[in-house]
Amino acid sequence: MNLLEKINQDLKQAMKSKDTLTVSTLRMLIAAARNKEISLRQDGKAELSDEQIVEVISSEIKKRRDSVEAYVQGGRQELADKESAEIKILEKYLPAQLSDEELAKAIESVVAAGAKDFGKVMGQVMAKVKGQADGAKVGEMVKKILAK
């Protein structure tokens, strides 16, 4: 079973259990995946791989994190709480996240290979840890390691 099939199966289960937040979140995720699939179809590809679906999920989580920040600054805590709950639902479909130690080792291996520029290090590290670490967290750690 691929990731999209699992998401659809979980959507059906959420509909049966009348979990409206999960239903709306998964429907939004499926719509985002379909939009990505349509944009790729123009390039000749038909179906999304699990890796591409993980990219869509990561993108949706990033959007929600930005929204949480904006809602908190705007004094709309109830909306921030809803977005946070959606993030938790979406995170279930991401691969296991790397620990800080594992992420630091990945960054240090790229730096040891000769990359000293922030952009180059970020590009190589993000390619290594696709879906297993948040880009903002990686960026902070790269800055700390390059500052040493």
User: Which residue segments constitute the domains of the chain, with CATH numbers given?
Assistant: 3-91 (1.10.1510.10), 100-147 (1.10.10)
SS3 call for 86 = helix
| Residue scoring higher pLDDT (25 or 126) | 25
CA distances, 83 to each of 23, 94, 111 (Å): 14, 17, 36
What pLDDT does residue 122 have?
82
On the CB side of 51, how many CA atoms lie within 13 Å of its CA? 4
Q: Are 131 and 54 in contact (CB under 8 A)?
A: yes
37-69 residue pLDDT tens:
888 777 666 677 888 888 889 889 999 999 999
Average pLDDT, the chain: 85
Given this model, what pLDDT does residue 3 score? Answer: 86
Q: What is the largest CA-CA distance in the chain?
A: 54
Which has more pLDDT, 13 or 117?
A: 13
